[in-house]
Structure 1
């Protein structure tokens, strides 16, 4: 499996604070999909950048670029046309070890 990252480019600045009801519904579907992807083990990490430009990132595994493009395209934020997706190959080179309690 290869690692990939896709960026979710929101349609405007301060998007998280100015979402419409429809946009909130789409983002709720996005969150549900990410939870399922965590459970199936394909998603490595995901989250938004903070501040006025709310770019989301999703780091995941896929066997090849075609599969990675399908994975990104299935995200409701991108499939709906509300946000724009940008896919790139990725390599997690430095990872903090798990913390022990």
Structure 2
């Protein structure tokens, strides 16, 4: 199983500080999606810098190949709804504390 990372950036920069009701709903679905990936053993970690709302969020997960990784990324409700854009990259772990 390979590791992948997708970088999330809001399509509307103000969304993180002042989301619309629709964006709030989509972001709740995004969190539910990430929790489902965790329960399925796919998600390694997800988050964003705490004090820099302009910095991208990241999601690191496992998938067998690029097509599967792309499907995980594009199925994210925030990406599918166009609230966030995502850039997908293969991820090589250099050092792991586990």
TM-score normalised per structure 1: 0.88
Q: CA deviation at 1:95?
A: 2.0
Q: CA deviation at 1:14?
A: 4.6
Instruction: Give 3-state SS (helix, strand or coil) of 2:78's partner.
Output: helix
Give yes or no for contact 1:14–1:53 (8 Å, CA) kept in 2.
Answer: no
Q: CA deviation at 1:48?
A: 1.6
The corresponding residue for 1:36 is 36
Matches within 5 A, 1:1-101: 1-50=1-50, 51-97=52-98
CA deviation vs aligned residue, 1:38-79 (integer Å, no higher than 9, x gap): 111100000123413141110000000000000100000100
CA deviation vs aligned residue, 1:64-98 (integer Å, no higher than 9, x gap): 0000000100000100012111000001221224x
* Greater shift in the superposed pair: 13-22 or 59-68: 13-22
* Greater shift in the superposed pair: 10-19 or 41-50: 10-19
Name structure 2 gaps, 5 residues minimum.
Answer: none
TM-score normalised per structure 2: 0.91
Higher CA-based Rg? 1
Aligned-CA RMSD value: 1.3
Instruction: Give 3-state SS (helix, strand or coil) of 2:13's partner.
Output: coil
Q: CA deviation at 1:4?
A: 0.3
Aligned residue pairs total 97
Cα distance in 1 for partners of 2:64, 2:15 equals 32
Instruction: Give 3-state SS (helix, strand or coil) of 1:52's partner.
Output: coil
Name structure 1 gaps, 5 residues minimum.
Answer: none
